[in-house]
Amino acid sequence: MPTGKAAQSGFTYLYVLMLIALIGMGLAAAGTLWHTDAQRARETELLFIGAQYRQAIRSYYELDPAQPRLPQSIDDLLKDNRRPGIVRHLRRAYRDSLTGGEFALIRAPDTRGIAGVYSLAAGRPFKIAGFLPEDEAFSGAASYADWRFVFSLPATQTQQVKPSP
């Protein structure tokens, strides 16, 4: 006569398998959430670094009001020798937080000086609205490469700033 033990065997194994599947789904959701959070942090860092470059270019340009000019290289922003003492417009040459590499430079066509920087990352940004006024052009950008951190020359200058090829 059967004792009922054979009919119950294997259910514990089935429960363990379902528990592992549920834990796996939870970890997948947590991984997606972590990736999104990390990407948003890199976006925030990119906005900060881009603003630092824009401010450094502005500082370099406005240092000598009699002869304003754009920097010829990033090294000019790190160590400006136009004054008796060394002037540092940028603390260090920042790396692109999205690619880990260097920023692409935007050059003014007539002076060949650096007017801005941008990331070479091709990903689609999470942030599409709510930018600071100087970054308002980033709203609705299709990729990070569309976020151009450019120093706008004063209205007295008739230069049109275009990205270099």
Q: Which parts of 63-131 fold into alpha helices (H)?
A: 74-78
Q: How far is residue 126's CA from residue 38's CA, in Å, rounded to a whole number?
A: 11
Domain with 48, as residue range(s), is 36-150
**57 assigned to some structural domain:** yes
Q: How far is residue 47's CA from residue 41's CA, in Å, rounded to a whole number?
A: 10
Q: How far is residue 97's CA from residue 108's CA, in Å, rounded to a whole number?
A: 24
Q: How far is residue 153's CA from residue 133's CA, in Å, rounded to a whole number?
A: 16
Distance of CA 75 to the CA centre of its chain: 21
**80 assigned to some structural domain:** yes
* Cβ pair 89, 56 in contact under 8 A: yes
**16 assigned to some structural domain:** no
pTM given for the model: 0.76
Q: How far is residue 132's CA from residue 11's CA, in Å, rounded to a whole number?
A: 59
Q: Which secondary structure element, helix H or strand E, spans residue 150, and what is its range?
A: strand 148-150
1, 5, 26, 108, 113 from 165: Cα distances, Å: 86, 76, 45, 12, 14
**11 assigned to some structural domain:** no
**43 assigned to some structural domain:** yes
Q: How far is residue 120's CA from residue 117's CA, in Å, rounded to a whole number?
A: 10
Full pLDDT tens readout for the chain, 165 residues: 556 565 566 788 888 999 999 999 999 988 888 988 999 999 999 999 999 999 999 999 988 888 888 999 999 999 988 888 888 999 999 999 988 889 999 998 777 789 999 999 888 998 888 888 888 888 888 899 999 999 987 765 544 454 554
Alpha carbons within 13 angstroms on the beta-carbon side of residue 86 total 8
- The total domain count for the chain is 1
Q: How far is residue 138's CA from residue 124's CA, in Å, rounded to a whole number?
A: 12
**25 assigned to some structural domain:** no
> Which residues, listed in sequence order, are joined to residue 150 by a DSSP beta bridge?
116
Coil, strand or helix: which one is 80? strand
**140 assigned to some structural domain:** yes
**4 assigned to some structural domain:** no
